[in-house]
Amino acid sequence: MQNNGNENGYRSGFISIIGRPNVGKSTFLNRVIGQKIAIMSDKPQTTRNKIQGVLTVNDAQMIFIDTPGIHKPKHKLGDFMMKVAQNTLKEVDLILFMVNAEEGFGRGEEFILEKFQTVNTPIFLVINKIDQIHPDELLPIIQSYKDKYAFKEIVPISALEGNNVERLLDQIKSFLPEGPQYYPADQVTDHPERFIITELIREKALHLTREEIPHSLAVVLDKMEQQKGKDIIHVMATVIVERDSQKGIIIGKQGSMLKEIGKRARVDIENLLGSKVFLELWVKVQKDWRNKMSQLRDYGFNENEY
Ligand SMILES: Nc1nc2c(ncn2[C@@H]2O[C@H](COP(=O)(O)OP(=O)(O)OP(=O)(O)O)[C@@H](O)[C@H]2O)c(=O)[nH]1
Ligand SMILES: [Mg+2]
């Protein structure tokens, strides 16, 4: 195994998690960090921005970058998401290429491997969701990937159940260069709480609605303030959809859907903030927001940041 660092030195580095939508990148990040900083769902293209998670151990700091799943973009938001994923490739110390053990090597994987041809960064193949397959099926999967690219390591894991994740972390650590501790030991993400709050609301809406809604949805935080003299934080947010019909779905019968979204999101936000929360949700229609660059910016998709 390659060894970049000094035996006694502190190691640190940036690790990008790349893969098709829905393979489990955000689930892996949350498992590693031990806290929910990236939202997860069974719908593809859940992650839209780059999300950084910091793992600090006694002799190393690993900064993981969760990226939007790589796919062929169909609209401006898709374009943006691809750019975010690709831009991280060259700047990091290590790439984790995550694939789904349940699915064979396909066009999606091939598309991503082509992107790898132009980068020199070492790449691990991480085969996720091994809890879903029979152990006998693993070897053929590994074989099928071995010829495709000179991966530095091939590591099967279950991000959901945690199998083999510790071992992968050890392998990652031994690949990182000697370096400084970039973040304080108690900091787990570079994303502000405000962003995570809107993401938690979006996650609940994703979970509770069907196919047609997820990609048409954005959440904006309007207000967040401590209520005077009370131990309770008032959070006001707006759910943005593209059509009136979607607004109807999000609000639900007599407001029942919006109430449920709010109830579930509030529990997560209270955990995040460690405080009681009063969550107030609104719904607004903004036609075709995904194709309008200026609105994308309003909703937190800022190209210059990446
Ligand atoms: N059985 C099983 N399911 C998993 C595992 N890891 C993730 N999942 C599930 O796969 C789905 C997608 O997980 P995410 O973590 O949101 O996937 P992602 O790669 O971040 O997806 P995008 O953000 O859309 O690119 C969720 O329903 C997870 O619960 C695993 O190890 N085993
Ligand atoms: Mg994700």
Summarised one tens digit per residue, pLDDT across range 1-55 is 444 444 568 999 999 999 999 999 999 999 999 888 888 888 888 887 778 899 9
The residue-averaged pLDDT of 114-133 equals: 92
Average model confidence (pLDDT) across the chain: 87
What is the DSSP code string of 169-229?
HHHHHHHSPB----S-TT--BSS-HHHHHHHHHHHHHHHHS-TTTGGG-EEEEEEEEEPTT
The SS3 of residue 250 is helix
- Is the per-residue pLDDT at 70 higher than 70? yes
Of 17, 39, 40, 48, best ligand 1 pocket probe by most atoms within 8 Å of the beta carbon: 40
| Closest-approaching ligand to the CA atom of 214 | 1
Return the higher-pLDDT residue of 114 and 102.
Answer: 102
128 lines ligand 1 (CB under 6 A): yes
- The Cα 45–Cα 39 span in angstroms is 11
Q: pLDDT tens across 262-296, in order?
A: 999 999 999 888 889 999 999 999 887 777 766 77
pTM for this predicted structure? 0.81
Residue owning the nearest CA to atom 21 of ligand 1: 22
pLDDT score, position 75:
76
Domains present along the chain, CATH in parentheses: 11-175 (3.40.50.300), 193-305 (3.30.300.20)
- Is the per-residue pLDDT at 93 higher than 70? yes
pLDDT score, position 111:
85
The residue-averaged pLDDT of 214-236 equals: 87
- The Cα 31–Cα 165 span in angstroms is 9
47 lines ligand 1 (CB under 6 A): yes
CA distance between the termini of the chain: 32
- Is the per-residue pLDDT at 85 higher than 80? no
- The Cα 170–Cα 218 span in angstroms is 37
What are the counts of helices (DSSP H) followed by strands (DSSP E) for the chain? Answer: 9, 9
Residue type, 155: V
pLDDT score, position 302:
57
Q: Which atom of ligand 1 is nearest to the CA of 158?
A: 31
